[in-house]
């Protein structure tokens, strides 16, 4: 299940996609436009910064901007940055593989085989959807921000 933190991260990134070129958005502005509690948003922005998805600038005209073009940021990358691996179990993960503690035989485990398929399908969809694509498919909201629904 997608965490509320990951939803907030995606909403914050949509706000940054809509920011005028060359002008970083301040945390307060992002929080207001994305309807995210500011203190929580600051933690999220820090994680996104560590992952290279956003850059921050200090000073009077400082703020946050996207680390790359919206066409180069996939949903999968954002979710991994905030929630960790996409796989439902560690033995099905590509990025954080670990044998399950109670596993008898990983090669013949029926649960693992199904969860590998789930991981592959989920990854294929989330890797193929970029911020730019999703925003292009949405009608603009009243304040000008095109934002996919959170549900």
Task: Kindly report the pTM of this predicted structure.
Answer: 0.83
Question: Contact 53/78 with Cβ under 8 angstroms?
Answer: yes
Give the pLDDT band (50/70/90) at residue 148.
low
Pick the CATH number of 4-70+130-136 from 3.30.450.40, 1.10.10.10, 3.40.50.720, 3.40.1160.10: 1.10.10.10
Name the DSSP class of 102. T
Q: What is the pLDDT of residue 144?
A: 44
Q: Where are the domains of the chain?
A: 4-70+130-136, 86-128
pLDDT(141) > 60: no
pLDDT(12) > 60: yes
Give the pLDDT band (50/70/90) at residue 22.
low
pLDDT tens digits for range 97-109: 888 888 888 888 8
- Structural tokens at position 109: 């485990």
pLDDT(142) > 70: no
pLDDT tens digits for range 23-70: 899 999 999 999 999 999 999 999 999 999 999 988 887 899 999 999
Q: What is the pLDDT of residue 151?
A: 46
**For residue 13, what are the contacts with CB-CB under 8 A and spacing of at least 6?**
48, 53, 54, 66, 70, 73, 78, 131
Name the DSSP class of 90. G
Task: Give the phi and the psi of residue 143 in degrees, each rounded to 5.
Answer: -85, 5
pLDDT tens digits for range 72-127: 999 999 999 999 999 988 888 888 888 888 888 888 888 899 999 999 999 999 99
Q: What is the pLDDT of residue 150?
A: 45
Task: Give the phi and the psi of residue 106 in degrees, each rounded to 5.
Answer: -60, -35
Q: How many CB atoms within 10 Å of residue 40? A: 13
């Amino acid at each position: 299940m997608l965490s509320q933190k990951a939803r907030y991260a995606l909403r914050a990134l949509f706000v940054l996609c809509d920011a005028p070129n060359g002008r970083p958005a301040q945390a307060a502005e992002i929080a207001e436009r994305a309807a995210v509690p500011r203190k929580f948003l600051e933690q999220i922005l820090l994680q996104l910064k560590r992952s290279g998805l956003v850059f921050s600038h200090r000073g009077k005209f400082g703020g946050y901007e996207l680390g790359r073009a919206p066409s180069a940021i996939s949903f999968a990358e954002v979710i991994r940055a905030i929630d960790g691996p996409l796989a439902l179990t560690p033995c099905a993960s590509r990025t954080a593989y670990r044998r399950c503690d109670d596993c008898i035989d990983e090669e013949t485990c029926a649960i693992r085989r199904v969860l590998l398929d789930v991981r592959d399908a989920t990854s294929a969809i989330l890797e193929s959807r970029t911020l730019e694509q999703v925003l292009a498919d949405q009608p603009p909201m009243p304040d000008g921000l095109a934002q996919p629904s959170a549900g």
